[in-house]
Structure 1
Amino acid sequence: MAEIIKVYKEHLPSLRFIGKCYTNADRVGGFGHKWAEWFQKGWFEALGNLGGAPDIENGYLGLMRCDSSNFENTFEYWIGLFFPSDTSVPSGYDSIDLDGGPIGVCWIKGSEEDGSIYGMHDQCVVGFQESGMGNFKTDQENRVCFFERYNCPRFTGKDEQGRVILDYCVYLAEQ
């Protein structure tokens, strides 16, 4: 069973997220098959050659954005990486430019194998709210931006029970 073990705030600079966008039509249960495609086709290695974003906690990212009042038609699931905001986007990839600002972070500890770490959105929202971080930033299309950050070594190093830590993050409105 997964559990939230830490909730905190950090600040990100302006960034460019470079990756590929998927919608609910691309789901097969979830997006695990798309992650497998990324590893099989070497898409992370190609992006890694761009250098990444220094001075932030980084890792592979699953970025989600949607307007909660129209979830089905606005949900996007992106796979990719953060880069400095002036990074050129390679052919075959798309990008999202993100303003700098605060994010809320939940560390979810659990098993990757049983998928328990992936169904914790609602619990993280409550954790953010209980920690005074319930004012989520929206973009010009009223979309909130959440992302899963697969940080090394938190996500790649299992503890003695085989559990890992997934970072679940949300962009916060400036207060």
Structure 2
Amino acid sequence: MEKRIKEEVMLKVLSTLNEAQSRWYVAKEAISLGRGGLKRMSELTGLSRPTILKGMKELKSGQDLSKIAEGKIRKEGGGRKRLTNLDSALVKDLTHIMDENTAGDPMSLLKWTGKSTRKIADEMVDLGHPMSAMSVCRMLKEMGYSLQANVKTKEGKEHPDRDAQFKYINEQ
């Protein structure tokens, strides 16, 4: 509970910072977490690993941070636009594809599909929406789908007479 509140506060503070400041703040948090901190902060904040690594390098360099940030703050609205902003029918077509393939308990909020994100992306391309499997993955997560791979489990030790059992069946 306390960890979640701390994360919410951190994200609130992060939303008020500019690009350089947020890079340094997340890098500082990653350093303080120690092993696994970089991955954890990347997942929590959405900042890329290279961005956090750059912030760590800048913090450890001992340089004056105000000189590093001069003239490097991007204007609001820069960067690539989201696919959903560029193509209004994208979400509708993806929802239509997922309606045919959605599985899960209707009483639970957990939804999943048997189709891979790559196959779904191929179907979207066929419908005229050029997108990658990673874009499909991101959009499905936003739509509340659980993206899980099949996992093989071992269910105990193998029977010592396993080969003998098959030999006996073949002889019959």
TM-score by shorter chain over 0.5: no
Query: Which is helix-richer, 1 or 2?
Result: 2
Alignment TM-score, normalising by the size of structure 2: 0.29
Higher strand content, 1 or 2: 1
Larger radius of gyration: 2
Asked which structure has the greater RCO (Cα within 8 Å, sep 6+), the reply is 1
